[in-house]
Structure 1
Amino acid sequence: MSLQEALGVALRVLRTIHHLSQDDLHCFADAKHIHSIEHAKIGISLEMLEGLATSLGTPPLAFIALGTKFQSGQSRSAQLSDLKSELTKLESIVMDAMSAEFAEGKLITHCMNTISQEKLDAVSKCRAQGMSRKEASEALCIPQTTVNRL
């Protein structure tokens, strides 16, 4: 079973427990969209997960934990132990770097300046050999849009 399926089932069960219809969640999506999520036909965005979980009285993390617990079949104590271990490991690596991505509470945006001289030279070489943009894209394993841009 996929996490998408487990989250869909969790949504359906929580909605049913709260005696809500799919139409009752119309402020997040129409009933057809909710139905598609509950039947794992489509995934759920983080924004929608946050809104739906909150409207069902469940913190988003608990909603995800419920889905992953059902998916993995782990006991709650094993799941919490694994989560604690993983968070401890990640905190030591990631937290300072995450904080550095914000300035005055706002996410810092970075320019996408991914054009390296190496890529530019490789594309130029392919074009000098008479390759089409498509052939250069395939030869260099880079998207054709990147070849076009270069």
Structure 2
Amino acid sequence: MPSRSTLAAILRSIRTARGLSQEQLGGAVEARHLHNVEHAKTNITLDMLERISARLEVDPIALLAMASIYERQESLTSFNARLLAEMNKLEALGVLSGLPSHFEGGGLVTGKAGKRPIPADRIQAVLACKAEGMTQKQTSLKLGMAASTVHKIWHSDSGSAASQ
């Protein structure tokens, strides 16, 4: 991610290349806030970046890419090759194909709060130690698990409550 100084310089450079003053760009964001962004005194939100980009008639990704190219001191060709490699990695992980499962009715599906369930093999290991007559502390040390997790499994009904 480019630093706010580099992004500020990119925004300022594009604004002046378009012949716009900060006041003329003010429709996108409050003039004072734009001044602070262009002087790297504040961070920019994605929403603000989108509004400024729309007013500058430049894709926000292009702004971030240009700032990244400058900071890394690399060529556009090198950047594009690196970006393509990163995108291919994400695609191989199934990120793009898995995205629809995170949306419903045009909105983001909220995730369940809390920690992930304890894996069944960990539950069985704790219960096996308990059956052998080990203490919770001994079990915790042997399995390298937090004492609180061992306690939770230890006092659940055969480990069923621990997996919820």
The 5-angstrom pairing of residues 19-30 of structure 1 reads 19-30=19-30
1-side partners of 2:68 and 2:107: how far apart?
Answer: 31
1-side partners of 2:103 and 2:75: how far apart?
Answer: 37
Answer yes or no: is 1:97 the counterpart of 2:98: yes
| TM-score normalised over the length of structure 2 | 0.65
Higher-Rg member (1/2):
2
Unpaired runs of 5+ in structure 2? 119-144, 150-164
- The residue aligned with 1:10 is 10
- The residue aligned with 1:113 is 114
* 1:14–1:105 Cα change, 3 Å: same
2-side partners of 1:73 and 1:67: how far apart?
Answer: 10
2-side partners of 1:21 and 1:56: how far apart?
Answer: 11
- The residue aligned with 1:139 is none
**Deviation of the 1:30 alpha carbon:** 2.1
**Deviation of the 1:98 alpha carbon:** 2.0
**Deviation of the 1:102 alpha carbon:** 1.0
- The residue aligned with 1:66 is 66
**Deviation of the 1:58 alpha carbon:** 0.5
- The residue aligned with 1:36 is 36
| TM-score normalised over the length of structure 1 | 0.71
1-side partners of 2:115 and 2:22: how far apart?
Answer: 44
2-side partners of 1:113 and 1:19: how far apart?
Answer: 51
Identity among equivalent pairs (%): 30
AA partner of residue 17 (structure 2): I
Q: Deviations over 1:54-102 (max 9, x none)?
A: 2111111111111111111100000000000000111121112322101
Unpaired runs of 5+ in structure 1? 123-150
- The residue aligned with 1:50 is 50
Aligned-pair Cα RMSD in Å: 2.5
